[in-house]
Amino acid sequence: MAKEPTSKSQIFLKKLSQMEQFTEAEQKHKIEEMDDVMKEMDRNDFFSLFTNGLFNKITKIIEENGLLIENLLLLLKRIGYLKVLKGILLYGFEESSLNKRIEKMIIEEEMKEEEKRNEKLLIDICECYFLLNEGIFSETLSICVPCLLKAALKKEEDEETQKEKEIALLALSHIDRHYFFRQELYLKEITEIIKHQQKHRNLTKLAYQSVWKFLINRFCTNNFLEDTIVNELHFGREAVRELEELTRRIDWKKKKEERRKETEEEIALKRWLDVINYFIPPCKLWNEELVELINSIVQLFRAAKDNHSVISNQCIYPLRNAAEKRNMKIEDLLKSGAIDAISEEMHRRTLNEGVAFECLQFFTTISRRLEEKKRDEMEEEQRKATKMEIFEKMEEEGYEDIIASFHGVISIRYKYNRELTLNNSDYFVNV
């Protein structure tokens, strides 16, 4: 009688429990095997496996000398790396004895005299700490941030160094965006990394995206970074370049059922869209590079909309946020195809409530802005012409019926913070 297949979680746990039986080299080999198992896990399995109990179990294995520290850090780095890429929140680590042990190791290594300090070990510990933790970090920030930036500033081109830089930058990008810390701790180094990449293009896609995510996360609590981000480092131009290159690398013709797991390009694209969405609301500066960024998001939406609803849905959020920007002209949204893109999304049969809400908010914002009077007569004429063009588009698409149908989904009005009006005329541009 054939045995039932063993789950990936059980395979992982079995290999972990056998660690004390192996030599240092054998442990490393087993960790490689465990890494392959984790890569194949879906989000639910991964989330269910890595609990407070499992991390406490790892602590016990260390205390019994069943797992060497270097191999422990190798294992934790693999767990943290995949956890961040899979977009999973694991609060079990924060509450575990292992987290306290890692924090203690960081402080103890930092306190050593410089000649006795193991820099490689400190980098590894800091990476594990940032990748596995969620939320705000403690006083270890002042130790870990400079340490990881130093690792990311290495100029060597070999594959191993590039991977080390990628993990260091990914760890930095995971620092909670609501946590404020001094520019002196990171700005000079981050600026150098971005400018070096713009000149040499030698970072991996994930590493470069992570640099920007780290910087935009700091912008969320520090508006003084705006000029550096927009005008010195040209975020809009760089984001356009990365979006367009990643878009070209993905086979958009693959059906959903054919996508066994996300590619590196798909993961990087989703992370870029998150970063852009964090950036737009607090941004007061606006230029042609950022207008072009909106155009690129529309093109990405069109590429993804048939067979990759996760990415196409993510495109809606920055477009809706752009519509609310006073310095983003309605005419630019119209020319970019953003209005057509939102219209197409609202026709989707499987449209979820959250996206429906964002689409309706987009048109409410457009209508409200076009109803505002302009002092300049030329601006007023342009406004009227734009209103007429948008109204004709909306009339052609049968918007009254579409909007009325969404009001039948009552939960939209209660699930989200901002209520939607039940007056259909509020979603139209009355000339």
Quickly state the pLDDT bin for 380 (edges 50, 70, 90). Answer: low
pLDDT at 383 exceeding the cut of 70 = no
**Cα 429 to Cα 392: distance, rounded to the nearest angstrom:** 9
What is the reported pLDDT for 2? 41
Q: What's the pLDDT at 417?
A: 46
Q: What is the pLDDT of residue 149?
A: 97
pLDDT tens column, 407-420: 444 344 444 445 55
Residue type, 153: L
CA–CA separation, 381 and 389 (whole Å): 12
The rounded distance, in Å, linking the Cα atoms of 382 and 179 is 43
How far apart CA 153 and CA 61 sit, in angstroms, is: 35
Predicted local confidence at residue 409, as pLDDT: 46
Residue with tokens 């103890």: 108
Q: Is the pLDDT of residue 396 over 70?
A: no
Rounded mean pLDDT of 97-111? 93
Sorted by sequence, the CB contacts under 8 Å of residue 2 that are 6+ apart come out as: none
What's phi and psi for 424, nearest 5 deg?
A: -60, -30
| pLDDT, position 376 | 46
More confident position, 184 or 3:
184
Whether the pLDDT of residue 4 is over 50: the answer is no
Place of tokens 């890692």: 102
Other CB atoms within 10 Å distance of the CB of residue 264? 13
Q: Is 75 helix (H, G, I), strand (E, B) or coil?
A: helix
In degrees, rounded to 5, the angle at the alpha carbon of residue 83 between the alpha carbons of residues 223 and 18 is 150
Beta carbons of 71 and 31 less than 8 angstroms apart: yes
What CA–CA distance (Å, rounded) separates 256 from 308? 7
Confidence class for position 75, pLDDT limits 50, 70, 90: very high
* Percent of the chain residues topping a pLDDT of 70: 85
The mean per-residue pLDDT over the stretch 30-36 comes to 95
What is the C-alpha separation between 403 and 384, in angstroms, rounded?
23
Q: Which of 3-7, 165-169, 284-288 has the highest mean pLDDT?
A: 165-169
Q: Tell me what pLDDT residue 384 has.
A: 67
DSSP string, 230-262: IIIS-HHHHHHHHHHHHHHHS-TTS-GGG--S-
Q: What is the pLDDT of residue 28?
A: 94
Whether residue 318 is predicted with pLDDT greater than 90 in this model: the reply is: yes
Residues 186, 189: Cα–Cα separation, whole Å: 6
pTM: 0.86
Q: Which of 72-86, 135-149, 194-208, 210-224 has the lowest mean pLDDT?
A: 135-149
Tokens of 181: 């810390």
Give, to the nearest 10 degrees, the angle between helix 288-304 and helix 309-323.
Answer: 150
User: Is 60 exceeded by the pLDDT of residue 349?
Assistant: yes
Burial of 295 (0-12, 13-18, 19+ CB in 10 A): middle
Domain ranges for the chain, please list them.
Answer: 7-134
